[in-house]
Amino acid sequence: MSLVGIIILILSLLGLVVAYFYSRQVLAVAKYPKDASEKEKSKLSEIHQAILEGSMAFLAQEYKYMALFTIFFAIFIGLLLNNPSHGFNDGIYTSVAFIAGCSISVLSGFIGMKIATAGNVRTTASAKTSLAAAFKTALHSGAVMGFGLVGLSSLGLYLVYLLTAKLVPAGVDSSTIMEIVAGFGLGGSAIALFARVGGGIYTKAADVGADLVGKVEKGIPEDDPRNPAVIADNVGDNVGDVAGMGADLFGSSAESTCAALVIGAIAFPGNLGAGLYPILITALGIPVSLIAMFFIKVKKEEDVGSVLKRLLIISTFLGAVAVYFASIWLIPAQYELGGQVFTGEGVYICYLSGLLAGLFIGLITEYFTSHKYKPVKDLSKSCETGAATNIIFGMALGFKSSGWTILAIAVSVFIPFYIGGMYGVAISALGMLGTLVITLTIDAYGPVSDNAGGIAQMAGLDSEIRDRTDVLDAAGNTTAAIGKGLAIGSAILTSLALFSAFLTRAEDISINNPSMLNFSLDNINLLDPFVLGGLFLGSTLPFLFSAMTMKSVGKAAFDMIEEVRRQMKEKPGIMAGTDKPDYGRCVSISTKAALREMILPGVLIIGSPLAIGFLFGIKALAGVLMGSLLVSAGLAVTQTNAGGAWDNAKKYIEKGFLGGKGSDAHKAAVIGDTVGDPFKDTSGPSLNILMKLSAILSLVFVPFFAKYGGILVKFLE
């Protein structure tokens, strides 16, 4: 085993140990506040149990579908990618890598959900002691997710690589090996489809349904235990923000690493160290983040937000230093790719460029979605003339923020491409994920704090506890916005890296088998009819996809509204507080709707690239991927930021500005917030999956397209 390999193994295992250590710390916290009465304890236990059971019920249902899908798709891969000329079945290797990717993603999600549902009630309990204690509990819950996921990811990738390299017959070239390893990324991305799209529909069906009956019709506050959908809503926070976000970012990390591995195998033939560099820089995030965690401490209320930001900044800085040495060590001073010569220093600059672009995108996102700044203040003001102007201004805000964000992306696409070629883009994508451990930690911290507040409210605990969890929650919201921006940004760069890897690999196959495929990177010209037609065709996918996911939330919310109304009508005692609502039915409605409604978008995402590559060939598929990526990028940012801004405009008014709660402006703001819910938590982030999954499918299925692709074109010519 090489030295790089040993270091990767050690760092990955360190990640798992740290995650285990933090989970012990969280579980060591008492579940009930000190001095809690027996009644409070039983109430708390009941609510906690309901959220836990709801979450697990959703996961169990989802796992059934996932397992079926994984098995079916693994067989599909095994059949389609079989290449007898290699002397072994590539397909079977790839499908094993795929299963490994699926399993590790599922495992990460499961760990995240387990600790989030254990951490929420413990955060409530420790909020009774002090803000610092509550912060620690919530943050450590998040850290289990952060360290655990990244550790598992790099461990899994490395082991899959190691096994593949060991098991394939001698003489198989390293780019074929890396192409097999890319199956791992496909697995991660496929699970993200379930977690992001299914999870996104789940959480917003529950949220919109709960709000429209609870807040609007009945006038009861959020998190009121009389609302039958309230548990589903809290479960949704975990499902969407913990499992969904985690799987999304796991996918990004695994996929951009795979893209870098595939291109690296072509750029650095025979150089194992340089080949493994992408896995190493992901793994380096673990010690770096651990050090950053030691640097921070919360004492006062004002500390919370700045501590989270400090975590990000310290780990960014340390990461930049660590990767610098790794680059010097492993990347040769010069390398050739696609007929051009690039420098080793360039690779590090690409990493830095991604890292900085990520921070910059985070700042743009914060500016446009936080009510500390002008855009959201203007938006709040527009509520005074009603819901219509609020929506108009919110859409304008979303469009504008999208323009600026994609401008930053354009720069961060140009620089690495110019300096490091296609390999540079892949490394830049990894750079943007340089703070992945901390980003995940903060992202998972958010719903834990949010749930903690909900539990305190539902159990009727001291307002002091709720006040403290609100502080935690507010700080989490700001950094969560940064995390969302980063998730989109990294999805864009990851897709571009996969796109490059797909085309590089196609050319590679074409050079070695000119009789099978006649493709060169020079073929993908903007004026080629297939590329151009593909660009337009691809640009329709994000629109169709967003239409499906938005409509799904609408339909699922309808089901939820009807169920809540039915319960309230059949049991009048619920509103009086004398009868208990049936939380379980609402949970199961959200679960069923989520799984039913994700089938169609799932088929669209997976079917389109396969069908287009098969029917029209690689050039058309390249056009489709690029067209889809360009539109998805802008649309995803628009939706996410508009949604975030509407949410915070409502919160701004609820703080007492512009008339405060109950005013006409507030009513208008609530409408904007409801519109924003599926925007920011379902259709916007789901576009991340559209971009990445279609790109990695294209990469993994290159050998299939090379052999059988473009049958319609062959027929036309």
Q: What is the CA radius of gyration of the chain?
A: 25
Residue 608, token pair as written in the block: 């389109």
Sign of the CA dihedral 570, 576, 578, 583? positive
Site for its own copies contains 527 (CB under 8 A) = yes
Residues 638-657 that bind its own copies (CB under 8 A): 638
Tokens 């037609």 correspond to what residue?
Answer: 533
Given the complex with its own copies, which of 53 and 345 has the nearer CB atom?
A: 345
Range in contact with its own copies (rule: CB under 8 A) among 44-52, 131-139, 185-193, 496-504: 496-504
Residues 269-308 that bind its own copies (CB under 8 A): none
Given the complex with its own copies, which of 387 and 438 has the nearer CB atom?
A: 387
Site for its own copies contains 554 (CB under 8 A) = yes
Given the complex with its own copies, which of 487 and 668 has the nearer CB atom?
A: 668
Measured in Å, how far apart are the chain's first and last C-alpha atoms?
50
Other Cβ atoms less than 10 A from the Cβ of 300: the count is 8
Site for its own copies contains 671 (CB under 8 A) = yes
Candidate list 61, 83, 103, 385; residue touching its own copies; CB under 8 A: 385
Given the complex with its own copies, which of 83 and 343 has the nearer CB atom?
A: 343
Given the complex with its own copies, which of 90 and 207 has the nearer CB atom?
A: 207
Residue 248, token pair as written in the block: 């999304």
Distance CA 637, CA 641 (A): 6
Distance CA 451, CA 328 (A): 45
DSSP state, residue 169: P
Range in contact with its own copies (rule: CB under 8 A) among 41-49, 139-147, 264-272, 387-395: 387-395
User: Residue 3, class by beta-carbon neighbours within 10 Å (0-12 exposed, 13-18 middle, 19+ buried)?
Assistant: exposed
Q: Select from 432, 402, 560 the least CA-distant residue to 493.
A: 432
Write down the least CB distance from residue 61 to its own copies, Å.
25
Candidate list 116, 261, 422, 560; residue touching its own copies; CB under 8 A: 422
Distance CA 139, CA 444 (A): 8
Candidate list 547, 603, 611, 711; residue touching its own copies; CB under 8 A: 547
Angle at 99 between CA 93 and CA 105, to 5 degrees: 140
User: Residue 572, class by beta-carbon neighbours within 10 Å (0-12 exposed, 13-18 middle, 19+ buried)?
Assistant: exposed
Range in contact with its own copies (rule: CB under 8 A) among 28-36, 158-166, 451-459, 534-542: 534-542
Q: How many residues bind its own copies (CB under 8 A)?
A: 80
Q: Are 444 and 120 in contact (CB under 8 A)?
A: no
- Across-strand partners of 336? 341
DSSP state, residue 194: I
Write down the least CB distance from residue 553 to its own copies, Å.
7
Distance CA 211, CA 148 (A): 34
Range in contact with its own copies (rule: CB under 8 A) among 473-481, 511-519, 572-580, 668-676: 668-676
Range in contact with its own copies (rule: CB under 8 A) among 46-54, 154-162, 185-193, 671-679: 671-679
Q: Are 181 and 161 in contact (CB under 8 A)?
A: yes
Write down the least CB distance from residue 564 to its own copies, Å.
12
Q: Are 468 and 134 in contact (CB under 8 A)?
A: yes
CA dihedral in degrees (238, 239, 242, 245; nearest 10)?
-150
Q: Are 700 and 179 in contact (CB under 8 A)?
A: yes
Write down the least CB distance from residue 515 to its own copies, Å.
24
Site for its own copies contains 263 (CB under 8 A) = no
Site for its own copies contains 72 (CB under 8 A) = no
Range in contact with its own copies (rule: CB under 8 A) among 294-302, 399-407, 481-489, 594-602: 399-407
Candidate list 31, 400, 571, 592; residue touching its own copies; CB under 8 A: 400
Give the contact letters, 335-364, x = binds to its own copies (CB under 8 A), - = no: ---x--------------------------
Q: Select from 367, 356, 350 the least CA-distant residue to 482.
A: 367
Write down the least CB distance from residue 381 to its own copies, Å.
10
Range in contact with its own copies (rule: CB under 8 A) among 46-54, 246-254, 382-390, 570-578: 382-390
Range in contact with its own copies (rule: CB under 8 A) among 83-91, 139-147, 413-421, 592-600: 413-421
Site for its own copies contains 634 (CB under 8 A) = yes
Site for its own copies contains 535 (CB under 8 A) = yes
Q: Select from 92, 97, 70 the least CA-distant residue to 80.
A: 92
Residues 449-478 that bind its own copies (CB under 8 A): none
